[in-house]
Amino acid sequence: MPQYLVYVLASGLAITFGTSVVLLFILYTRAIPFEQRWKGILQAASELSIVATDLKGTITFFNSGAEKMLGYKAEELIGISTPYLFHDPDEVIIRGRELSAELGRKVEGFDVFVESSNKGKAEKKEWTYIHKNGTLIPVTLIVMPIRNARSEITGHLGVALDISKEKMLEQDLRKSEADYRFLLDHSPNIVIVHQGPRIRFMNKVAVAMLGFAAEEETWNVSMDELVDLQYRDELYSVSRTKKLTEIVMLCRTGKHMAVESHLVTVNYRGEPAQMMIAKDITANKQAAEMNNRLISILEETEHYIGMADVDGKLLYLNTFMKKMLGFTDENEGTGMLLTDLYPKWEGTLIRREALDKASKQGSWSGETVFLRKDYQLLPVYQTILAHKDPSDRIQYYSLVARDLSVIRAEEEARLSKVIIQKTLEAQEKERTALARELHDHIGQSLYFVSINLHTLSGKPEVMPYDELIQSMLEQLDGAIVEIRSQLFRLRPQLLEHLGLAASIQHLVRSYQLAYPHMDIRFVHQAATRGIDSNTEIHLYRIVQEGLSNAIKHAEATRIEIILSWEENELRIQIWDDGRGIDKKNVGVGMGLRHMEERVNALNGTFHMYTGSHCGTKLTAAIPLPPGAAAQEEA
């Protein structure tokens, strides 16, 4: 072999395979024959398989590295076999087909390895060697021509490097990459790797959430199309790593999606890239906005509202409640327990009864008292709610309370409206009845008198004067009685002249005459003076309604009315021995309701004692003004 070729070969091997240049230098500087020197170099490359052949492919040289790699001794192969012996035959056949298709002629066997070398060119390619024991060995093989002193190709030299470790590392790397991709694809968050605006990778969650039909649609998409303009500069700054920030992403559907993104600088195929890990927080932001609106509503309401955790520690008090409690600092109340809002004795009841019931049944309502900062007590009506998750575990408690004085004032206002409405209805009913009576009785009587008068004026010589006049007098007397009856219904005149007791006595006598089979009695201790006319008419109507109910509905045989004076209170009792009132029907009739409304209008109290077949006793107690007094009747 020419000396310059040995130098070229040695340099190429050293550069390509990293063989020790120092060893080469020592071999070349030793005073040994040149032929022995280059063979020594090739033998010294024990990490490389170096095999030389003649032009026909017969092995002429087989170094120690080849023996080590393939398990054959040099004497087993030199002058006997070709390199085809330790090559994967399937690879040789496949490569032969490729070359045949490329060159337009058949290439097979040993020619597959030396096609380029025959043309004076070196070829580097990965092949699979087969060890003597059948083990497959991946190698990188360089095949180059061997030339003589006249530069004629006299053979071929194959230098192979075992790349099993590299292949294993490469396989492990691919597996790691596949595992990593698997993890990213199954991450619940959006993961995008990009270099500037160019997208290199997008996981399945990102594909779905950003509105792509398939991963292929993302290949030609720019980050500019996915990120709102105001966030792009920050996104493309690869020098920033592990920065948590909020950005807005643009979905293919046109929807804007708020995300919390984590930006990390990574290495992508040897170049820096940005990996964005993003979590959709649109729902969270909407929930936060809804919560803020709810808090605004709670802050504006005039109900006392608070919230506490499962341990009873206060989380929130609205402004109205803080003001009621006397808190002036915004953070005042923080760290307090729910039970601290009440006096000690009441707080114990709240903890043992209210919270326990709310925990079991979901809510508790009742009257209680709050303890203000100035130690004043505020009676309230409150509801405590236990808020639970789907697994029935309590998340927190809330309370809503109202000032009892406000509730009572509203109830009084409501009742006043009801009373006014009922009064107006009663007035209208009374007017309708009066109009009907005037039309049916008085009107008819007057019409009859008018007809008779016209008759008398028309044919006086033939009419019986006495009979007509008598008939007209009877009609006029009846009309006068009816007018007096209606006037008495509107307001008994006896009340103005004789007072309450005498008017009731007259009323009782009228019922005694109308119902002689009933025992109706009126008992009174004294008359009264100083009672205003409004009170008198209310009390009179109460007695009138009570008598009417007992006669019409109770089937009573005995009725007793008692009017008594007790200290500063006037008391009326109406008792009958009738069938009584079933407690299920108490409050159904309008009569009893009107009686109670009249008593309430006088700031009195009304009680009813009854039962099925046990009779009925009605008691109305009316407070009298300081100027009122009892007087004995003359």
* Domain residue ranges of the chain, discontinuous segments joined by +: 46-162, 169-284, 308-394, 409-485, 493-631
At residue 433, the pLDDT reads 66
Helices first, then strands: H and E counts in the chain: 21, 22
pLDDT at 94: 92
User: Residue 11: how many CB atoms within 10 A of its CB?
Assistant: 12
Confidence at residue 26, expressed as pLDDT on a 0 to 100 scale: 41
Query: Does residue 10 have a pLDDT over 90?
Result: no
Distance CA 82, CA 92 (A): 13
Query: pLDDT at position 149, please?
Result: 83
Rg (CA), the chain: 58
Integer angstrom CA distances of residue 278 from 235, 266, 281, 385, 441 = 12, 16, 9, 37, 92
Question: pLDDT tens-digit profile of 176-217?
Answer: 666 666 767 777 888 888 888 888 888 888 888 888 877 767
SS (H, E, C) 234-294: HHCCCCCCCEEEEEEEECCCCCEEEEEEEEEEEEECCEEEEEEEEEECHHHHHHHHHHHHH
- The arithmetic mean of pLDDT across residues 282-300, rounded, is 80
Task: Find all residues with CB under 8 Å of 521, minimum gap 6, and list them.
Answer: 508, 558, 559, 560, 561
Instruction: Give per-residue pLDDT as tens, 518-551.
Output: 899 999 875 566 677 778 888 888 888 888 888 8
The DSSP string of 532-555 is: -HHHHHHHHHHHHHHHHHHHHTS-
For 320, other C-beta atoms within 10 Å of its C-beta total 16
pLDDT of residue 19: 45
- Pairwise pLDDT comparison (483 vs 124), residue with the higher score: 124
Instruction: Report the top-level CATH class of 46-162.
Output: alpha beta
Nearest to 9 by CA among 47, 58, 45, 54: 45
Contact between residue 37 and residue 29 where contact means Cβ atoms under 8 Å apart: no
Over range 388-417, report the average pLDDT: 85
12 pLDDT above the threshold of 90 = no
pLDDT > 90 in the chain, percent: 12
Residues 6+ apart with CB under 8 A from 269: none
Which of the listed CATH numbers 3.30.70.3420, 3.40.190.10, 3.30.565.10, 3.20.20.70 matches domain 493-631? 3.30.565.10
- pLDDT band of residue 444 (cuts 50, 70, 90) is low
Provide the pLDDT confidence category of residue 7 given band limits of 50, 70 and 90.
very low
The pLDDT of residue 79 is above 50: yes
HSE of 68 in the Cβ direction (CA atoms, 13 Å)? 14
- Determine the Cα–Cα distance for residues 566 and 574; give it in Å rounded to an integer: 16
Mean pLDDT of 111-126: 89
Gap between the Cα atoms of 63 and 455, Å rounded: 164
Q: Which residue has the tokens 């070359």?
A: 99
610-620 pLDDT, tens digit each: 876 778 899 99
> Average pLDDT of 54-75?
90
pLDDT at 46: 67
Euclidean distance between CA atoms 527 and 630, whole angstroms: 6
pLDDT at position 177 is 64
Of 21-35, 328-342, 371-385, 463-477, the range with the highest mean pLDDT is 371-385
Does the pLDDT of residue 450 top 70, yes or no?
A: no
What per-residue confidence (pLDDT) applies to 180?
Answer: 65
- pLDDT at res. 38: 52
CATH architecture of 308-394: 2-Layer Sandwich (3.30)
Most confident range, picked from 192-206, 267-281, 358-372, 460-474: 358-372
CA–CA separation, 201 and 191 (whole Å): 8
308-394 and 493-631, same CATH topology: no
The DSSP code for 227 is B
Task: Tell me the angle at which helices 465-490 and 444-458 cross, rounded to the nearest 10 degrees.
Answer: 160
pLDDT for residue 182:
72
Angle at alpha carbon of residue 604, lines to 599 and 610, rounded to 5°: 65
Contact call for residues 84 and 65 (beta carbons, < 8 A)? no
Mean pLDDT of 228-252: 72
Q: Specify the higher pLDDT residue, 320 or 531.
A: 320
CATH, domain range 169-284 = 3.30.450.20
Query: Average pLDDT, whole number, for the chain?
Result: 78
Comparing 430 with 499, the larger pLDDT belongs to 499
- Per DSSP, the three-state class of 167 is helix
Which one-letter DSSP state was computed for residue 337?
B
**pLDDT at 366 exceeding the cut of 80:** yes
Calpha distance 109→101 (Å, rounded): 15
Sign of CA dihedral 36, 42, 45, 50: negative
The confidence score (pLDDT) of residue 263 equals 81
How many of the other CB atoms lie within 10 Å of CB of 45?
23
Q: Quote the percentage of the chain above a pLDDT of 70.
A: 74
- Distance, in Å, from the CA atom of 56 to the CA atom of 79, rounded to the nearest integer, reads 11
pLDDT score of 419 more than 90? no
Does residue 601 contact residue 537 with C-beta atoms inside 8 Å?
no
> Mean pLDDT throughout 503-507?
85
Per the CB < 8 A criterion, the answer to whether 110 and 84 are in contact is yes
CA distances for 30 relative to 6, 335, 498, angstroms: 15, 91, 160
d(CA 49, CA 128): 13
What distance in Å separates the CA atoms of residue 107 and residue 483, rounded to the nearest whole number?
140
pLDDT band at 271 (very low <50, low <70, confident <90, very high): confident
The structure tokens 């039970």 sit at 339
Spatial separation of the C-alpha atoms in residues 573 and 595, rounded to whole Å: 12
Give the 3-state secondary structure of residue 383. strand
Model pLDDT for residues 548-605, shown as the tens digit of each residue:
888 888 788 899 999 988 778 888 999 998 888 765 555 545 678 778 888 888 889 9
pLDDT confidence of residue 129: 93
pTM: 0.39
